[in-house]
Amino acid sequence: MSEELLRLSKRMSELGLCSRREADEWIARGWVRVDGKVVSELGTKIYPSQRVSVERQAAAEQSKRVTVLINKPMGYVSGQAEDGYQPAVVLIKPENRWAEDPSPEQFHPTQLRSLVPAGRLDIDSVGLLVLTQDGRVAKHLIGETTDVDKEYLVRVEYTKPGKLPDSDLKKLNHGLWMDGKALQPAKVRWQNDDQLSFTLREGKKRQIRRMCDMVGLKVIGLKRVRIGKVKLGDLPVGEWRYLRPDEQF
């Protein structure tokens, strides 16, 4: 069976070495070797069986990349600025750093370079948002094959008489369709009279609001409280902290 050639940057991303963008940067700097030889031409193609290694500088560069957790307030968008709304990244400045952040990391403006959201949170939702410079973190949280679950507390109002039937709560857990596809199973349970906890593995646009809509629930407030093993905890609204070296999603 003949092997197919792959772009070196794609292969590096598949191997979990870095993101494709980082790969191109490292190739251009002469930090990547294929079968022991430096390859510095962008767009180079290799066979999957060839051995890819990176110089120590690349690992050092990567270890300097930061990941930041922010408790996003209402009215901020996750990514690019849009319609006069500011992106959450504008809140990442020394005066908004949580006073109780245990990380020894020092803030430096270079950390804002290519600090991108790993996943989104709607403008009218609050809670845990991850911003990272590390392509591996982004891929882990939002890649096609991610198995990291996310938990939300959702305040709701039932728009029909009486209360939500158990059969509809079951549908929220599994059985709803969106955009022509069956949704993956979710864990949805009542926290108290007007608040549900949603745990999801996927994140379609406005998914929770649309799921609630389908069973006659109106969302009054939505807050993300956990991504994988990382919790929002006591982080105040509008403040941020660094992901600690011992924390894993």
- Residues serving a catalytic function are 122
Q: CA separation (Å) from 82 to 31, 123, 161, 231, 247?
A: 37, 10, 38, 28, 32
121: number of Cβ within 10 Å: 25
Round to whole Å and give the CA distance between 134 and 118: 10
What's the one-letter identity of residue 166? D
Record the tokens describing residue 132, joined without a space: 């990272």
DSSP state of 5: P
Rg (C-alpha) for the chain, rounded Å, is 21
155: number of Cβ within 10 Å: 15
